[in-house]
Amino acid sequence: MKIAIYPGSFDPVTLGHLDVIERAASLFDRLIVVVMHNQTKTPMFTLEERQDFLRRITSHLDNVEIDAFSGLLADYADKRGACTIVKGLRAVSDFEYEFQMALANRKLNPDLDTAFLMTSAKYMYLSSSIVKDIAAHGGSISGFVSPQIEDEVLKRMRKED
């Protein structure tokens, strides 16, 4: 059984992330999407909210599981018996940082490889920060996040004002 992990902050999950999840789910027997902590970021949405958004938009994918973890990704992969980390590459600018993380993760867990999937061209520019910025300024996030969570994300952002 080939198990892969797709880690990220998912603050919030976008259609670009969903695109990567759907591609990865078709390549592996099981895909674990894990909400993790990036120590350079302060999340807007709680861990529970981020997992709930992910669960709702992936309910059509039988082999996808949603989880959260607060330690090292390499340790989590070991714990879950995963052999591959999946990451989405949007542009060349993502490459250097992703390359560094992939090598560090392999050093920490030599059995662990990172597979990069190209995000669809239509989502190349997308990021969670862009979604939050548009929502915070009263813009429409339709086409950026899944319709199942669009209202919830907007409502939650308005509460922050």
CA dihedral 31, 110, 91, 119 (to 10 degrees): -20
Which segment (16-24, 25-33, 46-54, 147-155) binds ligand COA by CB under 6 A? 16-24
- 73 lines the binding site for ligand COA (CB under 6 A): yes
Which segment (24-32, 47-55, 56-64, 98-106) binds ligand COA by CB under 6 A? 98-106
* CB-nearest residue to ligand COA: 16
- 134 lines the binding site for ligand COA (CB under 6 A): no
How many whole angstroms separate alpha carbon 86 and alpha carbon 97?
14
Least separation, in Å, of the C-beta of 144 and ligand COA? 9
Interface pick for ligand COA out of 4, 5, 20, 54 (rule CB under 6 A): 20
For ligand COA, the closer of residues 27 and 104 by Cβ is 104
Per-residue 3-state assignment (H helix, E strand, C coil) for the chain:
CCEEEEEECCCCCCHHHHHHHHHHHHHCCEEEEEECCCCCCCCCCCHHHHHHHHHHHCCCCCCEEEEECCCCHHHHHHHHCCCEEEEEECCHHHHHHHHHHHHHHHHHCCCCEEEEEECCHHHCCCCHHHHHHHHHCCCCCECCECHHHHHHHHHHHHHCC
Interface pick for ligand COA out of 26, 46, 59, 129 (rule CB under 6 A): 129
Contact mark string toward ligand COA, 76..95, x via CB under 6 A? ------------x-x-----
Return the active site residues: 17, 41, 90, 128
Summarize as ranges the residues that interact with ligand COA (CB under 6 A). 7-9, 11, 14, 16-17, 20, 36, 38, 41, 72-73, 88, 90, 101, 104-105, 119, 123, 126-129
